[in-house]
Amino acid sequence: MNPTMFQCGRFDFTSRQRPLVMGILNVTPDSFSDGGQHDTLDAARRRADQMVAEGADIIDIGGESTRPGSPRVPLQQELDRVLPVVEALRDCGAVLSVDTYKPDVMRAVLRTGADMINDIWGFRQPGAVEAVAAPEAGRAALCVMHMQGDPETMQKDPHYDDVVGEVHDFLQAQVETLQAAGVDRARIVLDPGFGFGKTSAHNLALLNRLPACAPAGYPILVGMSRKSMLGAVTGRDAAGRLHGSLAAALIAVERGAAVVRVHDVAATVDVLRVSWAVRQENAKADY
């Protein structure tokens, strides 16, 4: 396993061999797993510091819940939630990613110091490509995610003739759109969008055939932590899905994922360290 890596604002992962861990920091009152736990600046800072200490490479800050059925958040409210957190965490020692699809939020957080934009809409909103292709965006990484529908409706009978092929073709088209706008391919990361307009069967097919979900040569980010696809398999609610989340993260990395987006950083890092040590046949291998 040798995942393709990428440029990421102040950080350069282009020569990194091991997979990266992205810790989730939702500063929202209504996210499906941790809503309301980190929605003050002090709580967000404590949680970010904890995840960095546990081994997170990236902190992904979200100011709008994207759980199935969630409503959209007004622009100013999202800015009020995320900008102070980006400012406070600028020197935390990890990549700062912001989970947003709004071009105005993208511009604001990039000016404030974000290293990465994680867009569930895959930069399809009007003005999004222009926002991240502008010179002011610098070398910020761009995560392009696939989603069928929108968060309010995406889980209402999603249908595909070939889920792996259709996700691949969408990601390929968005890569071409970004590159046509002048975005360096080294900035691009691709996410099949587990749980975003997919049934459990669709999600399992995507994980099983992960390399085929995206055009070759681009790093793949996966986010399955505590999601309902794992509940469908284990029968557990979100709070009880740690073991399923660890299994999914390990399978994804074994299939070539470059980044895993998780709630449980310490446990995920331990699992990936053991996997990495086995591959290197060296218990002291630098993870």
Estimate the share of the chain in helix, then strand, then coil, as percent rounded to the nearest 5: 40, 15, 45
Residue 213: Cβ-neighbour burial (10 angstroms; 0-12, 13-18, 19+):
buried
Determine the Cα–Cα distance for residues 224 and 207; give it in Å rounded to an integer.
Answer: 10
**Are the C-beta atoms of residues 250 and 272 closer than 8 Å to each other?**
yes
DSSP 164-198: HHHHHHHHHHHHHHHHHTT--GGGEEEE--TTSS-
Q: Reply yes or no on whether 261 is catalytic.
A: yes
- 194 to 14, 86, 107, 157, 221: CA distances (angstroms): 25, 26, 26, 15, 10
Choose, from 261, 273, 279, 284, the residue flagged as catalytic.
261
Choose, from 102, 198, 227, 241, the residue flagged as catalytic.
227
Residue 286: Cβ-neighbour burial (10 angstroms; 0-12, 13-18, 19+):
exposed
**Are the C-beta atoms of residues 221 and 258 closer than 8 Å to each other?**
yes
Q: Which token pair is 173? A: 């088209």
Residue 168: Cβ-neighbour burial (10 angstroms; 0-12, 13-18, 19+):
buried
Q: Reply yes or no on whether 139 is catalytic.
A: no
Amino acid present at 141:
A
Enumerate the active-site residues: 227, 261
